[in-house]
Amino acid sequence: MGGMTSPTTRPTTDPAAAPAAAEPRRVLLAAPRGYCAGVDRAVVTVEKALELYGPPVYVRKQIVHNKHVVETLEKRGAVFVEDTGEVPEGALVVFSAHGVAPAVHAEARRRELKAIDATCPLVTKVHAEARRFAHQDYDILLIGHAGHEEVEGTSGEAPDNIHLVQGPDDVDDVVVRDPSRVVWLSQTTLSVDETAQTVERLRERLPLLQDPPSDDICYATQNRQVAVKAVAEQSDLVLVVGSRNSSNSVRLVEVALESGAGASHLVDNASEVDEAWLEGVRTVGVTSGASVPEVLVDEVLSWLAERGFGDVETVTSTEENMLFALPPDIRRGLRATSGEDQAGEARDAVR
């Protein structure tokens, strides 16, 4: 028996008789993904505020829409509040990346709060556009989602001129004073395609509708949507890492489905991935929203590797090199601290 090969187990060299090789399992990893420059700036702002001034550092709303980021900062001493009125008078408060209305700044001054504004510069640009068009007495059609912090902040810049349009289905209800003086703006985290559909419908009703001076959809939102399209068309399943209150993450799921993915799901982390989703799946696309740290993507990739999806191919649609300077108050604090550290080192050297 030893050393002999049974006829029933002997390997065959006849290609026609050989079973078809199983298609390999693989992961297509979208790039770019994850943190954008505005999110990175906002998170670092809170981290540096904690280092410079010590806890507690109050933050109005979630600094960015990601559960993991918020919980991590809370452990370091950040206190997240819904309203500026919850911040003790004279305390330090950081305004989130999504921006706030002028009334919020006014309340902070009235209560003598030390306010640090971490609003994404691209959102600040939309605020400036809203003020300018309102000053010129235009009706402003703001495409966005009711209740989103960014929409509330932008609307607060010109409440008498701004009309919210949530999508193509809202267009028939739009009423303006002068059809020749109408412009559209948009929430920066929307789907590029959905926004284009809404603008097209608006222009059918209002042929003289003007475009904003530059595209309001942020570069990171556009880039992540283009990247997920590139992997979705080749994927049986697309996993989007992001929180459910993250508009740009939710949009990535929608874009993946519209672009040919067999299925797509939004997960906060690897623990939310359902193994049943992998049934019959050979290619999994993976991406993440603009407020998601890369560690959460790495955990999902490890989870997939443990289940046979260890072959990871990065699909790059574009390179990103955008950087935003930290808020002036933080920069001043860091310069002062750096100067103190250098002075201390000099004194130690003399001793």
Known catalytic residues are 150
**C-alpha R_g of the chain:** 25
Would you say the C-alpha torsion 200, 206, 207, 210 has a positive or negative sign?
A: negative
Considering only CA atoms, which of 310, 301, 273, 285 is closest in space to residue 24? 310
Residue 179 near residue 208, CB atoms below 8 Å: yes
Residue 22 CB partners (closer than 8 Å, separation 6+): none
CA distances to 4, 150, 151 from 141, rounded to whole Å, are: 81, 15, 12
- 56 preceded by cis ω (within 30°)? yes
Residue 42 near residue 116, CB atoms below 8 Å: no
Say which amino acid occupies 313: E
The kind and range of the H/E element at 42 are helix 37-53
Q: At what angle do helices 37-53 and 328-350 cross, to 10 degrees?
A: 50
CA distances to 240, 287, 297 from 292, rounded to whole Å, are: 10, 10, 8
Measured between alpha carbons, how far is 59 from 106 in angstroms, rounded to an integer? 16
Residue 134 near residue 160, CB atoms below 8 Å: yes
Residue 47 near residue 329, CB atoms below 8 Å: no
Q: Residue 222, Cβ neighbours under 10 Å: how many?
A: 15
Per the DSSP assignment, residues forming a β-bridge with 315 are 30
